[in-house]
Each structure stands twice: as structure tokens, then as C-alpha cells.
Chains A and B, each alone.
Chain A
Amino acid sequence: MKTNKYIIYLLTIVLLLPLSSCDDDFLEFYPEDKITSANFPQNEEDIKLLLNGVYALMRERSIYNEGLFGFGVLDGATPNAFNWGNTPIARAGTGQLNSSDGSIVNFRWTRSYAIIFRANYLLQALDQVDIPEEDKSIYRAEARFLRGLAYSILAEGFGGVPIILTAISTEEARNISRASREETWDQVMADYNMAIDNLQAEAPELGRATKGAALGMKMRALLYQGKYEEVLQVINEIDALNKYGLFPSYEGLFRLENENNMEVIFDIQYISGENSQGSLHDQYCGTGTGSWTRGSRYVPTDDLVNAYEMIDGSEVDPNNPYEGRDPRLEFTVVVPGAYILGYRFPNYEYPGGAFNHPGNRLKHLSARKYRIEPEADLPPSGQSGLNNIVLRYADVILSKAEAIIETNGDIDEAINLINRIRTEREDVKISPLPMGLSQEEARAKLRHERRIEFALEGLYWSDIKRWGIGSEIYPVEVKDHNGNVIETKFPDGYLDFYQLLPIPDSEISLNENLTQNPGW
């Protein structure tokens, strides 16, 4: 063959230069608007950022379908309140929940593990920075406190769950198994105990965890486990701090001007303003006035209202049912004929008055606890600055009374404690309970007092489960003002498997080692 028969194009010669040198500078290109692991954490400020990042998870934004603490919304899973819209939280109290539901099932699970993830990250970051050991131990203790809180929510809600104490890979997460409920509670105790040993009675900033908060949450965890002897021991430690007492006003407890008062042991801190640190609680759950509809996502039921005693212990007058009642009724519930935000409630009786959200079929009762008044002080949407109290001293008093009763101790001492709640505040003075009750009678009085004192604060749901009273109280019909049934809670009686929430279906489908709770 001859060369002239070849037509050769050679456009480019491949020159693969050593793949380094000049291009390196070009490709070493990093974000300038974000913190990356390349230079974080370096100092105490970085640690503080991470700590605040854990606390940030305490806040609930879309409060009506979350339910980490839930407050009044969680009472919608009990006879105390009615949540309209058939939300999963409501269905947890009617027997219609599903393991594939979002909201309380998925939210509680995921949010708790988010707290655990961030707390674990903070604990590891603390090993990388050089700050004084005494400061370190406080950060470490706060991380442990918050992690313990998350595990306690999981243990109470789901039973035994996977225990994660360090950063794990996605592969490990896909294979992790559940610990027993006892082991999960043990982890809660370990976290709380470490926090108790290292936290001070006063936090570096008001609103952060204190020794008292850790002791208080440990008390609740022991109460939920039925470890009454230990409850009494922890309460002695709380009282030894000489820090907490009953706030003189029940009504004032839930008001902006009295935040962080002597009764508050641990709360969720909110502020109004441009930094989005407020709560939607007032907007989603409040009572409509004028032309402004508010969500009324949960409202109290007649079942709750009927549970309030008369001040003098007499029978309720059916013709005048809201006269002479335990004052906590009107501090908790907007009853027919009462005023809220300057409007008379409800508007179907008082034209132009206050009203529940039109989607809510229960129109004659509304929630007052945690409402901001007067109308001029109402925050813009999502900017309610009112803190939500997780644990207050009244709970310590009633937990002590319960522990004494359950350990069959000095019943009169327990009744005296209950009577403190009934008589000690300036605005709650109702007839004291008599001495000389049996254990059985005292237990009934205690349970009643706890339900009333903490109504619409999100505690009754846990109490029903741990007291095992579901089969006694259900079914419960919720009626509107015309007597029509709008919801029946557990129409066929309580379902025992509702003692635990289901593990989210989506989680089990990703991890074959996770077993579902029985019945779900």
C-alpha cells in the first residue's frame, strides 16, 4: 500500500499531562457561606453553637401534629380534649392509629433520634476542642440531659428502642436492633445521673438545663417506671436544692410575665421576633375573635369539664354548671358565657363573640391555658413567645404523694401534699381532702387531682397508660352542644396494644432487625 492512499486526520494528540499541578488550585474550591467539618469545631463558641442546635429540637413548630411534648394537643389523645381533623394524635386516642402514620408516630421517633444524633455529635466534638474541663463537663452534662430526655420519650412512647451513643454509619443504622424497655430506661437513668452529678443548681443562662431539671426529669422517668421508692429519694434531692415552690397564682403560671418563675423546673423557651424562635401554639390552638380565625386544634371536652369539683365539695348545679367550680376550670377552659380576648364565647350564643375554628365541630368549649391575652398583645403568626412548661414543682408534690400512696406509706402525709395543691395558691382554694382515707381512696383522689392540675399540659396520656386505666375509662363519647356525638374514643373499649405506639412502618421496612410492637 502506498502512503498517498492514506488520508490521515490527526486533529489532536492526546496529551495526558500528569494529573496534578496547576489544576489543583483551580479545583480546591470550598464554600464560603457555610461551616464545614474542615474547620469545625475549634473553640468554645463552636461548642455553644452545637449545644443550641440540640436545644433547638425542643421547640415544636407545627404543634398540632407533632407531639414530642405536645401539651394540650397531646391531651387530644385522651378524654380531656378533642383534636379536630382526625389527626394521628387524635387517632392515638380513638383506636384508629396506623403504623404508617406520620405525625406522632414518625415525628416522635425521628425527633427523639435527632436529639440523640445531635447530642452524640456534641459529645464527640467536645473531645476535639481545648476548653477548660469544668466548662466541658457542663456541656457534656447538658448533652447527656437532652439525650436522656429523648430516650425517656422513646421508652415511654415505644418501649425498648435501638440505643445509639456514638456516631453510627448508615449501614449500622440499617441493622440495629431494639434494646429492651428496661435497658432503654437504664440508658435514660445513666444520662440523667451523669447530668445531675455535673450540672449546677443555676444554669449559665436561664432556660438551659440545671441540676434541678435533671433531678426532676429523673423523678418523672422513675415515676413512669413505677419505681416509687426511688421517686421519693430523688424528691428529697430536689427539695434539698431549696429552689422550687408553688407559684402563688395558677392562672399566672402560664403567662408571659411570669416565665421562669419558681415553679418552673424545665421548660421550652420561646421568644417572639424576627429570628423565628416563636411558637405557633397560640395561632394553631387558640380561639377565634372578631374576623380572625384561629386553629382551635384542640379543645377541652365535657368529660374534662365535668371532672372539676365544686369549691365547697357540693354537687354541681345542673342549671348553673359553671358557678362555684374549682377555679382551675376557668383558668384552663373557656366555658360558655366566659370572655376571652374581650369577646364573649361562643358566638352561636353571643353574636359577634369568640368562636372555635369552623372546622371544629365542638363549638361550646375552648382552651384557655397557655393563651396570650389581652388581644393587643397577640403576637404575629408563629411568633408566640410564651414558654411551654415541661415540668413544674406541682408535679414534684403530686409525684411524692403518689409514691407515698403506692408504697403504702403515711397516707395522711400524701393527702396533705394533695391539699397543698388544693389550698396553697392564692387563686386556687378548694375544700381540702379529709384525713384517714384508705390507700384505695387516696389513690383515686391523687389520680383525679393530677388530671385536673395538669389538664391540657400533655401529661394525662402517659398517666392513663401507666395507671392502666384505659379499660375503666373508655369508651368516651365526645358530644357537641346539641348532644350529637362527634367522636367516640375507643368505641369498642380500650385496646391494650395502645400502651405502646407502633414503630414507624417506614423504619421497619429499612431494617429487618427491628421488630414491631405486639398488636400493630
Chain B
Amino acid sequence: MFSRRSEPPKEGLTQVDAGTSGIQGEGNMNGFRIFSYFGRANYTLMSKYLFEANVRADASSRFSKANRWGVFPGFSAGWRLSEEDFIKNVSAISNLKLRASWGQLGNQNISGYWPYLTVIGQNNNLSYSYNGSFSPGAAVTALVDENITWETSSSLDIGLEVGVLDDRITLEADYFRKTTKDILVQLPIPSVMGGISSPFENVGQMENNGIEFILNYNNLKFGRDQLGFNMGFNLTYIQNEVTKFRGGDSPDQLYLLREGYSFRTLYGYKAIGIYQSDDEALEHMHANPFTPKAGNLKYEDLNNDGRLNYEDKMALGNTLPKYTFGISPSFKYKGFDLNLLFQGILGVNMYTQNNFTDLDWENRMISTRWRDAWSPENPDAENPSLKFNNPWDSHQSSYWVNEVNFIKLKNVQLGYSFPTPMVEKLGLQKIYLYVNGQNIFSIASDGYEGYDPERNTFNAGYRVYPTPRILSAGINLNF
């Protein structure tokens, strides 16, 4: 909401109501509604065999009446092997469980509130004036697909839980296979549609295959004077592939959706160097309408036709991380405790073309890497020559792509609990002092430019609000 009035009758009156002229206001409310049924049944047989079935039915106001409902069942079964006699006798094994599940879930969480409804926009931009008078106008500015419905993902998960030495060491290992179909996406549409925004459509199918490990070690020392130690480690590996997509016919775009490729694979020209001379550029791009010059990026001419166009674009790397991991050690001794949480990602590609990395941007404050720009005196430079208004080097290409691995100290806390007798003397149950830090540091691969590497990999890092580093200290008193 926005409201404004001006000219309060007396100086110092600062509330909107006090204004006497220029009354303006704007604002509106949007919303969507979801209506659901949910049911679940659990059944355990002899503490060994576990079964569960559930079903949910959801309806969303984001879809038209005929396409509103989605029904999503789920089943799971578990076998506690450690309850079986033949395992019970093995003293080292404290827990052993096999489990399997299959279930479906729906997704309707897309931008916009009535994505199936043709909206006739009405605003100043769609209006005109005749002979000096304003005349409001309206137009359709977005296409819709009235038949869109739930995106559905089916997950199959087979897992093993092991605990040994009284659960000092526990391991969970899972294999999963998740198939998502009727993916809700907006695809680029030809401009002969008038440049209006493209509809959400249910297109395509993709698969995530992966494994996940969670390993934990605890030395089971809980006494105040004992050194307690816990170490957690988790690792997930995911292989993603778009398995079906409009029969292979898919538009070229930077974040590509195409059969056989990972979801939103980066797609563009491959930068293979920098032209060292005008002649080299002319020879390489001899049939191109625009001839690059010495100092410009050299892109691979895939079809060797001496020109650069969409046929020379290729996959430049996955934007979904292959590996994500976490490490969480913690220590306890004589009332002190220290907890750390490291998180990281391996094998992801980030496209970083924004107002700090690219010269060709309105906001011309640029990063220091441009100190190493090509010039005849600096022919081995990493970066093309410095120039503004340089669309050639700004093409979507691998020059802007980095393969990034990073590890980050996400959280650290050091605390101290005062001894119980002393606390009780004060009539309290607990006194705990702590200092805590979040987002302390990250170590990222060379070449990554930008703020925190823990960021959305589906955009160019433009207008990213950096993650703050938060340091806090506190005291907990329990009465």
C-alpha cells in the first residue's frame, strides 16, 4: 500500500491524515487458496515390520476448475533387522533397518496468482493521449495456458540404517530416484507473438537419481568432566536429467531445458581465447556481419562457417550441484561446548555476468580482475580488452561461467554452562553464556567472483543481496 498527502496545515505534523492536498493512494491485495484432504494409516507388526500408507488430495485456486485437484498417494515399508534373532545376537550391531518408500507430491508454487486466467492489463504504459488529454488503455500482456495443472513428482527411496557400538556410529544410506512430470515452466516464445510474456505450461519430465549418506560418530561421553565429541558428516550426490521435453524441440536459452541435458544447463558460446590480432579475428570470423578485433573474445565456431550465431552454442555446464555436503563437529568439556557447521557444494557452474563483472553495464563500478585486461602490451591476459559498449564480449558465453566448489563455515558457537551447584545457589536452573557466528567465511574455487558463493545458480548474480555475517553473544538464564 502507498498513500500520500502533502501540505500539512502546521509544521511538525507528520502523519498522513494531517495532509491537506495532493491525496494519493495505491495498493492491492493478491492471494491464492489451497484446499486439502489428508489421510494416513500406520501399521507395525511385531516391532519388526513397519507399514504406512498416506494420501493427500489438494486443490489450488491457481488452476482452473477442471484442473484444480491433484491426488498424491504414498506408501512405505520398513524391516527392523536388528529385532530379528539372527542379528540380535551380534552385539556390535545396535540398530539395523531396511526401508523403502514410494510417494507422490504435487507442486503448484509458481509466480502469479491466476496463471490460467487471461488478464487484460490496464496501466499508464498501455494508455495513450489524444490532443492533450489522457486516455486510458488496456491490452493482453501475458499469454496463458488454461489447462495447466499440478506438477507431480514421484519418489522412490531405498534406505539402510545401521548403528554399531551402541549407536556410537550410525550410518544412513539412501538411494533415491525422483521423477518429476508435467513440469510447470515458462518457455521463451517467438516475438511474433508480440513480445508478451510466455505462459506457464506443463511440459517435460525429469529424473533425479542420487545417493545420500549421513554418518555420525558420538563418543557417548556426557559427563561434565569428560571430553564429549560428536562428528556428523553428510553427503548427497544427485544426477539430474531432463528425460522428456517437447520431443526434443526446445528453445535455446541460457538456462537450457532440453531432453538429455541436466535441468537448466548453461548454454551459450564457448570462449576459447582472445584474438591477438585483427587479422586473426577476420580470418576466424570471415563471414560474420560484425568483425571482432584484437582483444575481443574468440568463440568456438562449432560449424566452421566463419560466423557466430545460435548454431555455435553449446552446453556449458550444470547449474544443479552434483555434490552437497555438510560437516558438523562438536565438542564438550567442563561446561564448555563448541559446535561447528560446515557446508559446501562441489561441481556446480555459475554464470556471473552482472554490474561488477561486466564492463558493459549501466552501473560502471567494476571488479579488479579487469586490471588484467588484454592489450597489445599484455597479450596473455585473462580478460578481453577494456571497452564499453562491447556487445561482442558480452555474449552469453563460457567466459562468464565458473565451475565452483566451495566450503563455508555456516555456523559456529562457543558456549559455557556454569556448574549446577553454583547456579542453584543463585536460585536458577541454568546459566549459559555463548558467542555465535554465522556465515563466517567461505573458501571458493579460484575464479569465482561475487559475494557469497551460496547463491541462486539460476541467475547471473545481479542485484543479489549479500548474505550477512552475523556475530552475536548472549546469556541464557533458566528460572
Of the residues A5, A15, A507, contact of B190 by C-beta under 8 Å? A507
Q: Is the CB of B114 within 8 A of A36?
A: yes
- Whether A502 is near chain B, meaning CB under 8 Å from some CB there, is yes
Residue of A whose beta carbon sits closest to that of B134: A275
Q: How does the 8 Å CB contact mask read for A52-65 relative to B, with 1 for contact and 0 for none?
A: 11111011000000
In the assembled complex, which residues on chain A have CB atoms less than 8 Å from the CB atom of B129? 207, 269-271, 275, 277
Q: Is the CB of A19 within 8 A of B42?
A: no
Cα A212 to Cα B1 in complex, Å, equals: 46
- Whether B121 is near chain A, meaning CB under 8 Å from some CB there, is yes
- Whether A510 is near chain B, meaning CB under 8 Å from some CB there, is yes
Of the residues B120, B132, B191, contact of A34 by C-beta under 8 Å? B120
Binds B, one of A67-75, A169-177, A345-353, A449-457: A169-177
- Whether A152 is near chain B, meaning CB under 8 Å from some CB there, is no
Q: A8-B43, A56-B137, A205-B131 are in contact. Are A506 and B191 (CB under 8 A)?
A: yes
Q: How does the 8 Å CB contact mask read for A96-123 relative to B, with 1 for contact and 0 for none?
A: 1111110000100111011111100100
Q: How does the 8 Å CB contact mask read for A25-42 relative to B, with 1 for contact and 0 for none?
A: 011111111111110100
In the assembled complex, which residues on chain A have CB atoms less than 8 Å from the CB atom of B40? 11-12, 14
- Whether A444 is near chain B, meaning CB under 8 Å from some CB there, is no
Cα A88 to Cα B389 in complex, Å, equals: 10
Q: Is the CB of A36 within 8 A of B118?
A: yes
Q: Is the CB of B33 within 8 A of A27?
A: yes
- Whether A87 is near chain B, meaning CB under 8 Å from some CB there, is yes
Of the residues B39, B124, B130, B138, contact of A205 by C-beta under 8 Å? B130
Cα A276 to Cα B211 in complex, Å, equals: 56
Q: Which of A492-509 contact B (CB under 8 A)?
A: 495, 497, 502, 504-509
Residue of B whose beta carbon sits closest to that of A120: B194
Q: Is the CB of A114 within 8 A of B189?
A: no
Residue of B whose beta carbon sits closest to that of A102: B391
In the assembled complex, which residues on chain A have CB atoms less than 8 Å from the CB atom of B309? 99-100, 505, 508
Q: A11-B40, A56-B128, A207-B131 are in contact. Are A170 and B199 (CB under 8 A)?
A: yes
Task: State how many angstroms separate the Cβ of B187 from the closest Cβ of chain A.
Answer: 8
Cα A5 to Cα B46 in complex, Å, equals: 6
In the assembled complex, which residues on chain A have CB atoms less than 8 Å from the CB atom of B199? 170
- Whether A206 is near chain B, meaning CB under 8 Å from some CB there, is yes
In the assembled complex, which residues on chain B have CB atoms less than 8 Å from the CB atom of A96? 289-291
- Whether B2 is near chain A, meaning CB under 8 Å from some CB there, is no
Residue of A whose beta carbon sits closest to that of B121: A34
Residue of A whose beta carbon sits closest to that of B117: A36
Residue of B whose beta carbon sits closest to that of A91: B290
Q: Is the CB of A86 within 8 A of B389?
A: yes
In the assembled complex, which residues on chain A have CB atoms less than 8 Å from the CB atom of B395? 100
Q: How does the 8 Å CB contact mask read for B250-262 relative to A, with 1 for contact and 0 for none?
A: 0110000000000
- Whether A16 is near chain B, meaning CB under 8 Å from some CB there, is yes
Counted as pairs of residues, one from A and one from B, with CB atoms less than 8 Å apart, the total is 246
- Whether B30 is near chain A, meaning CB under 8 Å from some CB there, is yes
Cα A97 to Cα B289 in complex, Å, equals: 7
In the assembled complex, which residues on chain B have CB atoms less than 8 Å from the CB atom of A35? 119-122, 138
Task: State how many angstroms separate the Cβ of B478 from the closest Cβ of chain A.
Answer: 34
Q: How does the 8 Å CB contact mask read for B110-154 relative to A, with 1 for contact and 0 for none?
A: 000110011111101111111111111111100100000000000
How many chain A residues touch B (Cβ–Cβ < 8 Å)? 96
- Whether B97 is near chain A, meaning CB under 8 Å from some CB there, is no
Q: Which of B55, B137, B392 has the most CB of A within 10 A?
A: B137
Task: State how many angstroms separate the Cβ of A318 from the closest Cβ of chain B.
Answer: 35
Q: Is the CB of B192 within 8 A of A164?
A: yes
Q: A36-B117, A51-B137, A96-B290 are in contact. Are A15 and B196 (CB under 8 A)?
A: no
In the assembled complex, which residues on chain B have CB atoms less than 8 Å from the CB atom of A385? 132
Q: Is the CB of B117 within 8 A of A19?
A: no
- Whether B188 is near chain A, meaning CB under 8 Å from some CB there, is yes
Q: Which of B33-47 contact A (CB under 8 A)?
A: 33, 35, 37-47
- Whether B12 is near chain A, meaning CB under 8 Å from some CB there, is no
Q: Is the CB of A260 within 8 A of B196?
A: no
Q: Is the CB of A9 within 8 A of B43?
A: yes
In the assembled complex, which residues on chain A have CB atoms less than 8 Å from the CB atom of B460? none
Q: A8-B43, A273-B134 are in contact. Are A113 and B193 (CB under 8 A)?
A: yes
Q: Is the CB of A23 within 8 A of B35?
A: yes
- Whether A165 is near chain B, meaning CB under 8 Å from some CB there, is no
In the assembled complex, which residues on chain A have CB atoms less than 8 Å from the CB atom of B196? 114, 117
Q: Is the CB of B126 within 8 A of A53?
A: yes
Q: How does the 8 Å CB contact mask read for B385-397 relative to A, with 1 for contact and 0 for none?
A: 0001101100100
Task: State how many angstroms separate the Cβ of A420 from the closest Cβ of chain B.
Answer: 28
Q: Which of A1-27 contact B (CB under 8 A)?
A: 5-17, 19, 23, 26-27
Cα A374 to Cα B190 in complex, Å, equals: 45
In the assembled complex, which residues on chain A have CB atoms less than 8 Å from the CB atom of B351? none
In the assembled complex, which residues on chain B have CB atoms less than 8 Å from the CB atom of A260? 131
Q: Is the CB of A52 within 8 A of B128?
A: yes
- Whether A248 is near chain B, meaning CB under 8 Å from some CB there, is no
Q: Is the CB of B37 within 8 A of A15?
A: yes
Q: A170-B143, A170-B189 are in contact. Are A49 and B122 (CB under 8 A)?
A: yes
- Whether B69 is near chain A, meaning CB under 8 Å from some CB there, is yes
Task: State how many angstroms separate the Cβ of A400 from the closest Cβ of chain B.
Answer: 29
Of the residues B31, B39, B120, B121, contact of A29 by C-beta under 8 Å? B31
Q: How does the 8 Å CB contact mask read for B52-83 relative to A, with 1 for contact and 0 for none?
A: 00010101110001001101000000000000
Cα A277 to Cα B289 in complex, Å, equals: 37
Cα A294 to Cα B29 in complex, Å, equals: 40
In the assembled complex, which residues on chain B have CB atoms less than 8 Å from the CB atom of A174? 189-190, 249
Cα A162 to Cα B45 in complex, Å, equals: 69
In the assembled complex, which residues on chain B have CB atoms less than 8 Å from the CB atom of A275? 124, 127, 129, 134
Q: Is the CB of B137 within 8 A of A520?
A: no
Q: Which of A223-268 contact B (CB under 8 A)?
A: 260
Task: State how many angstroms separate the Cβ of A507 from the closest Cβ of chain B.
Answer: 6
Of the residues A14, A28, A207, A276, contact of B125 by C-beta under 8 Å? A276
- Whether A434 is near chain B, meaning CB under 8 Å from some CB there, is no
In the assembled complex, which residues on chain B have CB atoms less than 8 Å from the CB atom of A206? 130-131
In the assembled complex, which residues on chain B have CB atoms less than 8 Å from the CB atom of A271? 129, 132-134
Q: Which of B87-107 contact A (CB under 8 A)?
A: none
In the assembled complex, which residues on chain B have CB atoms less than 8 Å from the CB atom of A111? 195
Cα A36 to Cα B140 in complex, Å, equals: 9
In the assembled complex, which residues on chain B have CB atoms less than 8 Å from the CB atom of A121? 139-140
Residue of A whose beta carbon sits closest to that of B188: A510
Q: How does the 8 Å CB contact mask read for B330-373 relative to A, with 1 for contact and 0 for none?
A: 00000000000000000000000000000000000000000000
Q: Is the CB of A170 within 8 A of B193?
A: yes
- Whether B375 is near chain A, meaning CB under 8 Å from some CB there, is no
- Whether A380 is near chain B, meaning CB under 8 Å from some CB there, is no
Q: A40-B120, A52-B135, A85-B389 are in contact. Are A12 and B39 (CB under 8 A)?
A: yes
Cα A29 to Cα B249 in complex, Å, equals: 36
Task: State how many angstroms separate the Cβ of A67 from the closest Cβ of chain B.
Answer: 15
- Whether A431 is near chain B, meaning CB under 8 Å from some CB there, is no
Cα A345 to Cα B139 in complex, Å, equals: 45
- Whether B32 is near chain A, meaning CB under 8 Å from some CB there, is yes
Cα A36 to Cα B113 in complex, Å, equals: 13
In the assembled complex, which residues on chain A have CB atoms less than 8 Å from the CB atom of B135? 48, 52, 205
Q: Which 9 A-B pairs have the closest CB atoms?
A: A52-B137, A117-B194, A14-B39, A53-B139, A207-B130, A206-B131, A49-B138, A509-B310, A37-B118
Query: What are 9 A-B contacts with C-beta separation under 8 Å?
Result: A15-B37, A50-B139, A53-B127, A54-B137, A56-B126, A99-B309, A170-B189, A170-B198, A176-B190
Chain B residues at the A interface, C-beta cutoff of 8 Å:
28-33, 35, 37-47, 55, 57, 59-61, 65, 68-69, 71, 113-114, 117-122, 124-140, 143, 188-196, 198-199, 249, 251-252, 288-291, 309-310, 388-389, 391-392, 395
Other A-B pairs, 15, CB within 8 Å; known A19-B69, A27-B33: A7-B45, A16-B37, A23-B59, A31-B117, A34-B121, A35-B138, A52-B127, A58-B128, A100-B310, A118-B194, A170-B198, A206-B130, A507-B190, A510-B190, A510-B251
